[in-house]
Amino acid sequence: MHEVQRSIRQKKVAAPALVPLATDWIAGLQAADLHQTHHGNLLTPDITATTSAIDKIIVQDLAWVVSALLQILELRRGVPAQGHLAALPAMIKYGVGSPAACYASSIGIHDRATATTLAANCPYPEPTFRQFLDWLSQLTTDEITTLTDPDTARLLIRSTERRSPRATQAAILSGTGTFTCPLRGVRHSGNDLYLAQLSAGTLLDLVRDPGNEADPNAIQVQHQGVFLGWIAREIARPLALALDEDPTPHIYVQLTTDARSIAQQSGADQLHGHNAVTLTITLAPGNTPRRTQLGALCTSRRRAASCRGAAGAGER
């Protein structure tokens, strides 16, 4: 709790204001309403100062403290958090009142009211992250437009288009463009707990795995040398051909799914689902000749040497 206490002192916030402020934040009150209701106890002169206090005290420090307390409770008392209690750190972080709304926020829907509306329309009473994504992917363009604001609708529609085989094929053939694809083999990687520490936007590395006995087109996904899984087989085949060209296009890979929040809400095993973890891959023309030794390829951070990892590739 020292972090929260320190933040309260730094922001000159009255301690009794913390609980009602966090409650209204999770309930979805917007910044103007939060300022009007709590600025007296927060001792903040304007809405900017109120927003800053919420971001530091609630979103950052309180969410971290609650997450740590739940982990300590499980380790020392053998009592794992379940349901809404397990999702509480994410609810505090995103300022929404249900696990499903946290799922929506974790995939890039930053408007809290929109995330809450989407969650309320999900047909599953208490959906897992995978169930929520499956439902979202089945929405028509008209349904997305009806349920969300224009900016979010464009985001979701564009995301759906980028998952289509046509968009993937066009980007790979042209050597330029952006598409999304699932990360496969998370369970078999043995590093799901490591993946569970990574948030959306984390830069990742692709490593060609031509020695893979199950699939010579295999492409590993790594983070700072830690193996996380493989590119989905249906995408690895054309992508491997592009990566083996000279010059190799520049590859920028980001984690689209907020794995950390999902693991905090529902456990790391929720990352094992077939399409539970998504990557965003951007290709740009490369001007530097590719190093051919060991099938090395350009990544956003370094040229990673290929390494073997045949075991478990069939899961892709």
- How many Cα neighbours within 13 Å face the side chain of 311? 5
Distance CA 207, CA 100 (A): 34
**Which pLDDT belongs to residue 167?**
67
**Which pLDDT belongs to residue 33?**
92
- Residue 113 Cα distances to 93, 196, 264, angstroms: 15, 26, 22
What are 197-210's pLDDT values in tens digits? 999 899 999 998 88
What are 90-141's pLDDT values in tens digits? 999 999 999 999 988 888 888 999 999 999 999 988 888 878 877 887 777 7
User: DSSP code of 184?
Assistant: E
What are 33-49's pLDDT values in tens digits? 998 998 887 778 889 98
Phi, psi of 305 (to 5 degrees): -70, 140
Fold for domain 161-315? Alpha-Beta Plaits (3.30.70)
**Which pLDDT belongs to residue 205?**
93
Whether 35 contacts 50, CB under 8 Å? yes
Element at 120 (helix H, strand E)? helix 112-121
The per-residue pLDDT string of the chain (316 residues; one tens digit each, 9 = 90 and over) reads: 566 666 656 666 666 778 898 899 999 999 899 989 988 877 788 899 888 888 888 888 888 888 888 888 888 888 888 888 888 999 999 999 999 999 888 888 889 999 999 999 999 888 888 788 778 877 777 888 888 888 888 777 766 555 556 667 777 777 788 888 889 999 989 999 999 999 989 999 999 888 888 888 899 999 999 999 999 887 887 788 777 776 677 888 999 999 998 888 888 888 887 778 999 998 887 654 333 222 333 333 333 333 334 344 445 6
Element at 177 (helix H, strand E)? strand 177-184
Q: DSSP letters along 36-52, please? A: HHHHHHHT-SSHHHHHH
Long-range contact list for 133-142, CB < 8 A, 24+ apart?
133/103, 133/107, 133/275, 133/276, 134/275, 136/107, 137/163
Close Cβ partners of 269 (under 8 Å, ≥ 6 residues apart): 192
Closest CA to 307 of 237, 289, 297: 297
Would you call 46 exposed, middle or buried from its count of C-beta atoms within 10 A (0-12, 13-18, 19+)?
exposed
Close Cβ partners of 184 (under 8 Å, ≥ 6 residues apart): 229, 230, 231, 232, 233, 274, 315, 316
User: DSSP code of 202?
Assistant: -
Return the domain boundaries, the chain: 2-127, 161-315
